[in-house]
Amino acid sequence: MSDEKLLIEEQFEDENKKKEYKPKFEFNEKNYFNEKLKKGEKKKETKIRILPINGSDEYFKDFGNFKAFFVTHIHSLKVDKEISQSGFKKFVCLNDEHLEGSYSHCPLCEKSKEYYNKANNAETEPEKKALRKMGSEYKAKKTYIVRVIVRGQEDEGVKFWRFNAHSDGKGIFDLLKVLYEIRNKESIEATGEKYNIFDLKNGKDIIVTSIYDEDTDRTSVSITDAGFSTPLSKDEEQMMQWINDEKTWTDVYAIKTLDYMQIIADGEIPVYDKDKKHWVAKNSSEEDDKKQETTEEKSKPDKVEKPVVETNNEEIGDDLPF
């Protein structure tokens, strides 16, 4: 008998692998770059190199021709401090095309639509305005994600940088686009050749500077390029390792489950019910407890095992201001 695996055995293994494969979200601060200042910080200057959206199993051939901006949609909401200490939290929209139909719908998008519909049917203008504002707050906003290497932190590997699209043309995406255009134009004028600052071999590092202005209580972000062209790394093997890094955006930005998102859309606080193995609204679970207490009259409330707010890393991660 041959030792070779039968095709059917291979298939069983493949199917099993598919079932097992579920990217597990583990928060690690090293996975993120963000331009925001920490409390009390006045200025931050970071030199980064922007990578292609993702590598591929095939050998990456063209170091000057790749897409750098991954586009997704995020709901950014004011939430109860029990959900996020900062009072704000970002949720990846479940309608995102990249989630490959894993979700039937996005409760937060639906909530937004609901408010817009109510606005259309409202009778007075102030009412319409207030409802439209709510619709807009729940609406998913276009967001870019880029992969970067932060200079001076090369040993921490590939990091992810997420920033919102700005309709006024003043967002980070726009600043990078303008910089690309300026350098390309300069090059064409001087040499007749195109120049791509994002080229991984002949391009440039990008310098991101954030400055806090006390008078306006605002932080401004500026973007410029390094003075000289340098490769992503002098070591080609290192370069390929970063380009083909396996981490993807869903590994570093938690995708919430449908039941969790529904509870958020309902304005409730999600708590994980370990017995039911899904998320429940905090108040409704308390009601359940109360019911239980009345039926089992003498059971002490302390003994009733309540679902607890999951304070795992995922929550901490989402609490960071980016």
Beta carbon of residue 103, minimum distance to Zn ion (angstroms, whole number): 9
**Spatial CA neighbour of 161 closest among 84, 49, 274, 283:** 49
Distance of CA 236 to the CA centre of its chain: 29
Contact 140, 109 (CB under 8 A): yes
Q: Which is nearer to Zn ion, 140 or 264 (CB)?
A: 140
Q: Which two tokens stand for residue 27?
A: 């928060």
Integer Cα distance of 260 and 148 in angstroms = 30
Window 8-27: residues binding Zn ion (CB under 5 A): none
Contact 146, 50 (CB under 8 A): yes
Beta carbon of residue 132, minimum distance to Zn ion (angstroms, whole number): 17
108 binds Zn ion (CB under 5 A): yes
- Give the interface size with Zn ion as a residue count (CB under 5 A): 6
Integer Cα distance of 118 and 127 in angstroms = 9
Beta carbon of residue 260, minimum distance to Zn ion (angstroms, whole number): 13
**Spatial CA neighbour of 59 closest among 203, 247, 231, 241:** 241
Q: Which is nearer to Zn ion, 35 or 96 (CB)?
A: 96
SS3 222: strand
Q: Which is nearer to Zn ion, 162 or 183 (CB)?
A: 162
Integer Cα distance of 112 and 76 in angstroms = 12
Compute CA distances 294 → 45, 215, 288, 291, whole Å.
Answer: 60, 57, 10, 5
> Given its phi and psi angles, is residue 40 left (phi above 0), alpha (psi -120 to 50 degrees) or beta?
left
Among 106, 175, 176, 208, binds Zn ion (CB under 5 A): 106
93 binds Zn ion (CB under 5 A): yes
By rule CB under 5 A, what string of x and - marks binding of each residue 135-174 to Zn ion? -----x----------------------------------
Window 28-67: residues binding Zn ion (CB under 5 A): none
Beta carbon of residue 219, minimum distance to Zn ion (angstroms, whole number): 27
Q: Which is nearer to Zn ion, 137 or 245 (CB)?
A: 137
Among 48, 74, 109, 150, binds Zn ion (CB under 5 A): 109
Q: Which is nearer to Zn ion, 203 or 270 (CB)?
A: 270
Read off φ and ψ for residue 22, nearest 5 degrees.
Answer: -140, 110
Beta carbon of residue 91, minimum distance to Zn ion (angstroms, whole number): 8
Q: Which is nearer to Zn ion, 119 or 140 (CB)?
A: 140
Q: How far apart are the first and last CA of the chain?
A: 59
Beta carbon of residue 173, minimum distance to Zn ion (angstroms, whole number): 20
Among the residue ranges 47-55, 105-113, 169-177, 206-214, the one whose residues contact Zn ion (CB under 5 A):
105-113
**Spatial CA neighbour of 270 closest among 304, 315, 302, 301:** 315
Beta carbon of residue 296, minimum distance to Zn ion (angstroms, whole number): 41
Q: Which two tokens stand for residue 190?
A: 């001087």
Question: Would you give the DSSP letter of residue 280?
Answer: E
Among the residue ranges 21-29, 91-99, 150-158, 262-270, the one whose residues contact Zn ion (CB under 5 A):
91-99
92 binds Zn ion (CB under 5 A): no
**Spatial CA neighbour of 154 closest among 224, 205, 190:** 205
Among the residue ranges 31-39, 80-88, 101-109, 250-258, the one whose residues contact Zn ion (CB under 5 A):
101-109
Q: Give me the residues that bind Zn ion (CB under 5 A), please.
A: 93, 95, 106, 108-109, 140
